[in-house]
Amino acid sequence: MLSKILPEYLNSIISNKLNYQKVYELRVRAAKPILVNYGGKYMHLTEEGVSMTASGAICADRKLVDAIIYKATEYSVYAVNGQIKNGFITVSGGIRIGICGELVQENNAVRTQKNYCGINIRIPHEVKNCSLNAFNHIVNKDIYNALIISPPGAGKTTFIRDLANNISMLSTPINILIVDERSEIAACSGGIPQLEVGRYTDVITNCTKEYGFSTGIRTMRPDVIITDELATEEDVKAAAYAISCGVKVIATTHAFDHLDLSLKPNFSAAMKNKLFDRFVVLSYRNGPGTYEGIYDSNNTCLYYP
């Protein structure tokens, strides 16, 4: 997948010198060494592979940053400006490129970015059955409303993708709707998921959660909605609306653990009202996807590895 966006010499190093399954991120900053999140550890990219030290590291420049962005947009930056102004580009296959640059604003609204100075290339991986330790705590006689919690980069998206697939393996069909705001969960290309999300799963991509939840409930009648990165007040309200309609919600959010959520203004009411029944806490302590515990809405620990 990286061959679509990287210059040949960088793609060759990653393909021939590294284990691609361990490559989670590439951080390319102008006038700085290129970093690789390799198996959960940040290391420097060299011509021979990776190194813990900066000696021999390949340094990027503005031309490289621009070249990757232009190649990722198939040389039509304006065609994906709606994504760029929000700080990212999604490439077929589920790769998301976070972008840092100079914001161009008009009437107090962000119109685009220019003078790109740094990018973070996040590479999705399918980890089969990574959700199984939590499965029976979320899916039993019923499906519990669940929130998957971790700091950034600790495997939340991989977890919910695998969970969707495993729910679809049940003998009784359950209709799943994935609201894939940044096209990272299912990695749809031409409307077809490129990653395995289950045989009874519908996907709405490139939409706000408010739109995806409200429209999806009316048009697709899902039993459960799965989505990534609840962050804003509108996101949490969309989840609460779905739950009030009798639809189960499985989502992710960024936090250290479930107790941290009460400190986030947008989640205080949800926590007080016990909107979610289950909390799965992940970390990258032993690599992305490390289980730190599963809790119910009363903070009772149901599973501790």
Are the C-beta atoms of 282 and 151 separated by less than 8 Å? no
Q: What does the mean pLDDT of the chain come to?
A: 94
CA distances from 37 to 18, 32, 34, 181 (A): 12, 15, 10, 24
- Domain ranges (residues) in the chain: 2-122, 132-303
Kindly report the pTM of this predicted structure. Answer: 0.89
Pairing mode of beta strands 146-150, 278-283 = parallel
Percent of the chain with pLDDT strictly greater than 90:
83
- 56: DSSP letter: T
Q: Which residues pair with 212 in a beta bridge?
A: none
Are the C-beta atoms of 215 and 224 separated by less than 8 Å? no
Stronger pLDDT, 191 or 167, i.e. the higher one:
167
Q: What mean pLDDT comes out for the span 7-28?
A: 96
Per CATH, the number for 2-122 is 3.30.450.90
Question: Cα(175)–Cα(276) distance, rounded to whole angstroms?
Answer: 20
CATH superfamily of 132-303: P-loop containing nucleotide triphosphate hydrolases (3.40.50.300)
Q: Quickly state the pLDDT bin for 122 (edges 50, 70, 90).
A: very high
Q: What is the pLDDT of residue 18?
A: 97
pLDDT for 61-78, tens place per residue? 999 999 999 999 999 998
